[in-house]
Amino acid sequence: MKDKKKETGAFTIVKAVLKYFFPIAFRHFKGYFFCGFTKVLLDAVNPFIGIMTTPLIIDELLGDRNVEKLIMYAAVIVLGGGILNLITSVLGIVMEKYDEKMQNFFTEEMSRRIMEMDFQHTEDKKALDQAEAARTGMSWYSGGVHGISNEFFNAIANAIKIVGVVVLIAIYAPILFLITAVLLAFNTFIRAKSNKIEIESHRNLSKLNRIFGYLGWNLTDFRYGKDIRLYGAADMMTEKWETYNNLMLNEWKWQADKHLPLNMLMMVSDVLRDTGTYLYLGILAITQKITIGTFSQMLSAGSTFHSSLQNLMWNVQEIIKRTNYAYEYVKFMNYPAAIEKGTRKVENIPHTIEFRNVSFTYPNTDVKVLDNVSVTLKQGEHLSVVGLNGAGKTTFVKLLCRLYDATGGEILLDGVNIKEYDYAEYMALFSPVFQDFKLFSFSVKDNIVLDNKADEKELDLLIEQVGLKDKISSFEKGTDTMLFKAFDEDGVEFSGGEQQKIAIARALFRKSPVVILDEPTAALDPVAEYEIYRQFDTLVGGKTAIYISHRLSSCKFCDRIAVFSEGTIKEYGTHDELVIIDGGVYAEMFAAQAQYYR
Ligand code: ADP
């Protein structure tokens, strides 16, 4: 279970994390760093007010008992300390506010990255785990930029305090260093062990959290409600939930069991330190090597030395621990691209697409789902891709749309490998409507135009063309009507067919030269599917079009038909050419389905 390898040295990680976060944070949140450094200085000075003044009071009480002097010393302690505390706590509050802003900032950056990362990562378990580790690492465990820099600020303040008390102790009670140092080394060793346990657990917990998130989402999302009820999946879901819950509890228990003996050792070490300190300083005072005032001063200097040194060690360990968690975020943000991207501009000419001996195997599998596929598509041609389920039709389109890179052969646009083109420019050529298209819980309009500006007339025309005019105009808010009920009680649930029409409108609105329609919906009967293709084909006009189906709905009006079978194009030609091939796949399919299309 504990399969953690030390991938990178602690120092390298700290450096990488600082290099990634701090320039960005400093650019956007200068005020935070101003408050932080001011607080460092005040924190460092604070304990010295007491350390320097208390012995003066004690020696004054044991000596001349000058009331004016005593009042002045007391005032310095009370007022000086009070004012410093007040300012530092105000600075602390201001910094907390920045903390929230910084967290939101980096969460937003991560969401953007998730939305823009290469599609195939969304099917890659490693990438998904990395995203979860980044999310929890950044927000919970590291405390974000605030969590990390706070440790840095504290480390600086503690270092300054240490230098101050070291000078005092060196003058009056040098052996105090030895007592403190030995026991501190012991404490640090234990704490390092304790941190290691937590870091080890983090990876396991991230994975469990991801599964939990999925179950939590599915269990409570109404959209899944139907399937859960119909198939009686509630028991199965709850059972799974309990299984993972137990795994999670085991992980926490493992942590707690490992921590217990370490915590006890830490307590023993504290007792030993106090005993040593009192014994040593007591002897110095009794033998009159130091005054009573200095005895008390050394006690507090010793305790400040110990606590500051311990805190400094703690800060360093926390910095290492927290940067380790935050490093998951850095790794995620720099997750290697899944596909190659170039810089070549797409020329403004009629485009020719060519698959040349293309083969493909999905990542982490060893089955060739496309094997030596070659086909050419000229601008304006309409290609029908047919074949049984699992033949490789959708994969063919996924490669064309750069969701994956071909593993063999090449795909060319205007004679140039598509990997060489600027990704965004290339992608702008396509408007696909995938089988599993998703509409958002936003307005109808937002679903169609996404982040583009909508010309109302154009939008209305499009809605009319896809056959949604009556439906949309029956709503009070028209195209501003919200889909689904996630954000709006008055949101509307569209039927599957209507949702598809919106998806088609979205594809057409994009005005790209190539449109792709992937099996409108398996739930449609062949005649309804034929109708959708036919209507779509008139809307598509002179654009290049690719229609995918395990049926022959679109074959009649397409220029060419590619018949996929077991990852290869078995037959290619027009309807008339293919239907006469004796024993041909197409001819057989047509014979079986002809009743629908005659
Ligand atoms: P079709 O669209 O013709 O029904 P697909 O292109 O969807 O066929 O699938 C072709 C083959 O690739 C199938 O055997 C399918 O199980 C497999 N496949 C599809 N997607 C993935 C994936 N993400 N990872 C692994 N195998 C996949």
Residue 350 CA to residue 327 CA, distance in Å, equals: 47
Q: How far is CA 344 from the centre of its chain?
A: 30
Sequential DSSP letters for 108-173: HHHHHHHHHS-GGGGG-HHHHHHHHHHHHIIIIIS-HHHHHHHHHHHHHHHHHHHHHHHHHHHHH-
Cα→Cα distances 242→110, 201, 246, 294, Å: 30, 20, 6, 62
> Which atom of ligand 1 sits closest to the CA of residue 391?
3
Predicted confidence at residue 230, as pLDDT, reads: 63
Extract the runs of DSSP E, i.e. beta strands, from 305-459.
Answer: 353-361, 368-377, 382-387, 408-413, 416-417, 430-433
pLDDT of 5-47, one tens digit each?
445 688 899 999 999 999 999 999 999 999 999 999 999 999 9
Residue nearest (by alpha carbon) to ligand 1 atom 5:
392
Two tokens, residue 378? 């000229």
Residue nearest (by alpha carbon) to ligand 1 atom 1:
390
Predicted confidence at residue 218, as pLDDT, reads: 66
Number of residues assigned to the chain: 598
Q: Which residue of 120, 123, 368, 395 sits with most ligand 1 atoms within 8 Å of its CB, as the best mutation to test the pocket?
A: 395
CA dihedral 583, 585, 586, 592 (to 10 degrees): 80
On the question of pLDDT at 194 being above 70, the answer is yes
CA angle 514, 520, 526 (to 5 degrees): 125
**Averaged over 267-296, what is the pLDDT?**
90
Ligand 1 pocket, CB under 6 A = 123, 362, 365, 369, 387, 389-395
On the question of pLDDT at 457 being above 90, the answer is no
**Averaged over 176-202, what is the pLDDT?**
84
Q: Which residue of 125, 362, 563 sits with most ligand 1 atoms within 8 Å of its CB, as the best mutation to test the pocket?
A: 362
Residue nearest (by alpha carbon) to ligand 1 atom 25:
362
Residue nearest (by alpha carbon) to ligand 1 atom 24:
362
Q: Kindly give the distance from the C-alpha atom of residue 232 to the centroid of ligand 1, in angstroms, as a whole number.
A: 28
Q: By mean pLDDT, which of 144-148, 165-169, 214-218, 483-487 is the weakest? A: 214-218
> Which atom of ligand 1 sits closest to the CA of residue 567?
10
pLDDT of 397-439, one tens digit each?
999 989 899 999 999 999 999 999 999 899 889 988 887 788 8
Cross-strand bridge partners of residue 563: 386, 571
Residue nearest (by alpha carbon) to ligand 1 atom 12:
369
Q: Kindly give the distance from the C-alpha atom of residue 585 to the centroid of ligand 1, in angstroms, as a whole number.
A: 20
Predicted confidence at residue 519, as pLDDT, reads: 79
Residue with tokens 């026991």: 183
Residue pair 354/377 in contact by the 8 Å Cβ criterion? yes
Residue nearest (by alpha carbon) to ligand 1 atom 22:
362
> Which atom of ligand 1 sits closest to the CA of residue 435?
2
Residue 406 CA to residue 67 CA, distance in Å, equals: 89
Predicted confidence at residue 436, as pLDDT, reads: 78
Of the two residues 280 and 222, the one the predictor is more confident about is 280
> Which atom of ligand 1 sits closest to the CA of residue 564?
3
On the question of pLDDT at 2 being above 70, the answer is no
Q: Kindly give the distance from the C-alpha atom of residue 515 to the centroid of ligand 1, in angstroms, as a whole number.
A: 21
Residue nearest (by alpha carbon) to ligand 1 atom 16:
390
In the chain, count H helices and then E strands.
Answer: 19, 10
> Which atom of ligand 1 sits closest to the CA of residue 123?
23
On the question of pLDDT at 225 being above 70, the answer is no
Picking from 93, 73, 75, the residue whose alpha carbon sits closest to that of residue 83 is: 75
Q: Kindly give the distance from the C-alpha atom of residue 405 to the centroid of ligand 1, in angstroms, as a whole number.
A: 15
Predicted confidence at residue 223, as pLDDT, reads: 60
Residue nearest (by alpha carbon) to ligand 1 atom 26:
362
Residue 164 CA to residue 302 CA, distance in Å, equals: 11
On the question of pLDDT at 593 being above 50, the answer is yes
Q: By mean pLDDT, which of 276-285, 413-422, 448-457, 573-582 is the weakest? A: 448-457
pTM above 0.75, yes or no: no
Q: pLDDT-based confidence at 141, cuts 50/70/90?
A: confident
Q: pLDDT-based confidence at 497, cuts 50/70/90?
A: confident
Q: pLDDT-based confidence at 549, cuts 50/70/90?
A: confident
3-state SS, residue 518: strand
> Which atom of ligand 1 sits closest to the CA of residue 392?
6
The pLDDT mean for the chain works out to: 87
Q: Kindly give the distance from the C-alpha atom of residue 343 to the centroid of ligand 1, in angstroms, as a whole number.
A: 30
Residue 205 CA to residue 211 CA, distance in Å, equals: 10
